[in-house]
Structure formats: C-alpha cells, structure tokens
Amino acid sequence: MTAKFNRMDPGKRYLITGAAGFIGYHLAKKLAAQGAQIVGYDSVNDYYDVNLKYARLDELKSFSNFRFVKGDLADASAVNALFDEYRPEIVVNLAAQAGVRYSLTNPQAYIQSNIIGFFNILEACRNWPVEHLIYASSSSVYGQQEKTPFSTDDKVDEPVSLYAATKKSNELLAYSYAHLFDIPATGLRFFTVYGPFGRPDMAAFIFTRKIFNDEPIQIFNHGDMYRDFTYVDDIVQGIENMLCNPPKPNVKGDRAKVYNIGNNRPEKLMDFIETLERHIGKTARKEFLPMQAGDVYQTYADVDELYADFGFRPNTSVDFGLKKFVEWYRGYYNV
C-alpha cells in the first residue's frame, strides 16, 4: 500500500538556508520551477570555491519567485530580521559547516554555524511560528557502529568527529524545541550525497578533478570502505515529499521525527572509483593510505520508515549518478 501524504504546496512561503550550497541549490531550483515563493539565505563563505556558489545563485536568480538574502546564521539579529520580513511558513535549514576532516583543523567554525546558527533558527521558529522545520543531520552520527543497516532507532551517542557531534546536537535541540514550543521538526540524516554542482570536498568531485589532472587520488583504509552514495535528486525528492507533512505527535505528544535518506545499497569504494574511471575514460593513479581520523568504515541507511511514511526510497544507481556528474563536470570546467 502506497503511503498518502500532502504534496508540496506552491502557495506556501519557503525559507531555504544554505541556498548557495549543493543540496540547497538543487532544492530551491526544483521548488522555484514549480512556482513556490522561495527565500534563500546563505553566508557564501569560502570553505570551498565561492565561484561555484555564485554560479548556483546565478541560476536561482533567474527565477522571479526566488529572493536571496546574504547573511550568517550565527548572527541572531540578521536571522530575526529575515524571519520578521519574510515570515516563512516552512523552513528547510541546510546551512551548516560541512566536512568531517575540516572539523579537525577548524572546530570553531562548526560551533558557530552548526550549534549557534541552528539555535538561532530554532529561536526564530519559536518567535515567528512556522508550520514545519526540516533540518539537515548526517549519517556521521552513527560513528563506528558495526550493526547494519543503520536505523534511526540505533543508539548514536559515540560520535567520532566534532562534525558528527554537532549534528547529533541539532537533533537533540530540535526535539527539545518541539517539546517545549510545539515546533514541528524533521531531521534528515543524509548519506554521502553527490551529483552535478556538488561539493568540491566530496569524493566524487575530488577523484574526478584529480583524474582529469593526472594527479594521484588518495584512497583511505587501502580501499576497504563502503559508502551509501546517494544521488542529489533523490535527496531533493525526499525533502519535497516532507515539506507539507510535519510529524504527527508521538506518544508523548511531541512533533519531532528523524529519517535516514540514503541509497540503501552500500558501494565498495573501489567499485565506485572504477565506475568513475569508466565514465571519465581514464584510469586513476592511486595512492593507498591508512584510515583517517574521524572517518568511518561503512555507511548503510535503513530507509524503511521513509518508505512507510512517504512511499519513497532513493534508488538512483551509482552508474547513472556518476555519468550525470561527469557530464556536468566536463561542461562546467570545459574539459
């Protein structure tokens, strides 16, 4: 039996933070194309190439129903002014300091963006009540867990990176605000997202750039790793399904929920690389290294709840997804 849920309502006012980012751009573009009123918010920081972020924004600004506001989530007065002016009915908080490895060298950025910034979003949702808050969590919260697939019912109290700790903290903060102030909140644990206009610090992008430049790619844990690589269109579809469907009260009356969104088919890292080589038409030079601090052996999403509630599970193959990514990369970088 297919789950029944409300479709995206283009008549609502949507706020998407991190709109210049990878997932935020794709979500904003799809919703704007359907006529929704979108406000995008982003600091456009220099964690990676800002030209890529501005290229995404240039595409979004072609929609008359898209408005962009530049600002920092850690600036409470700016966030409050944003909510006061635009009064969003649905908020999708995708802005965050991303990256497991960067958290080892610049921890302050994660506290400012992922803790203080998220707190400011929650306070704004409290003071300017919203119909639904959707926020990005991460598969990193599962740490070195050996049980697979990873379920949202699993205990996730042993993060192996500061990034993972901040994402788990977001889930705890969101639950407390749902309980105290009746803010309907849905957290999404994303699993290794890739695709066109992707982040340059992610594996698909790093490997592709280095293969084209004839530079060696670094393969950690000597290639013995598994990842639940998830194509960005599947992530966007999952979010779209949820927008107008805030969580129903649980047994305690709290409207808070967390879902996994992953391809639920872990890929061997070496198979991923071989598929990428095939679409590029070139063999990578490989440098095999030990496991990095903060990294995990495998990720594997249990998406049964996602399917039960929304009749949807990500299903884009890595072969198709990497083909689309390489096609975009060739066009964008003219290689």
Q: What is the 3-state secondary structure (H, E, C) of 267-314?
A: EEHHHHHHHHHHHHCCCCCEEEECCCCCCCCECCECCHHHHHHHCCCC
**pLDDT, tens digit, 9 for 90 and up, residues 52-74:** 999 999 999 999 999 999 999 99
**Could you tell me how many residues make up the chain?**
335
Region 13-33: mean pLDDT is: 98
Give Cα separations from 228 to 74, 94, 261 (angstroms).
Answer: 31, 20, 10
Question: Which of 3.40.50.150, 2.40.50.100, 3.10.129.10, 3.40.50.720 would CATH assign to domain 13-198+230-264+298-315?
Answer: 3.40.50.720
Q: What is the pLDDT of residues 207-225, one digit of tens each?
A: 999 999 999 999 999 999 9
Q: Give strand ranges (E) for 65-115.
A: 66-70, 90-93
List active site positions. 163
pLDDT value of residue 116:
98
Q: How far is CA 96 from CA 121, 137, 144, 306, 317, in A?
A: 12, 10, 22, 23, 27
Q: What is the pLDDT of residues 288-300, one digit of tens each?
A: 999 988 778 889 9
Question: Residue 237: pLDDT above 50?
Answer: yes
Q: How far apart are CA 189 and CA 262, in angstroms?
A: 8
pLDDT at residue 257 greater than cutoff 50: yes
Q: Can you tell me the distance from the alpha carbon of 97 to that of 235, in angstroms, rounded to the nearest whole number?
A: 19
Quick: pLDDT tens for 159-180.
Answer: 999 999 999 999 999 999 999 9
Phi, psi of 154 (to 5 degrees): -70, 150
pLDDT at residue 2 in the model: 54
- State how far the Cα of 91 lies from the Cα of 102, in Å rounded to an integer: 27
The pLDDT tens digits of the residues spanning 34-49 come to: 999 999 999 999 999 9
Could you read off the pLDDT of 134-158 as tens digits, one per residue? 999 999 999 988 899 999 999 999 9
**Which residue ranges make up each domain of the chain?**
13-198+230-264+298-315
- Asked whether 152 and 259 are in contact (CB, 8 A), the reply is yes
Q: Residue 1: what pLDDT?
A: 44
Q: pLDDT value at position 100?
A: 81
Q: Which helix (H) or strand (E) holds 41?
A: strand 37-42
Is the CB of residue 325 less than 8 Å from the CB of residue 204?
yes
User: ∠77-80-84 over CA atoms, to 5°?
Assistant: 135
> Average per-residue pLDDT in the chain?
95
Which pLDDT value is given to residue 4? 78
* pLDDT computed for residue 296 by the predictor: 84
The pLDDT of residue 72 is: 97
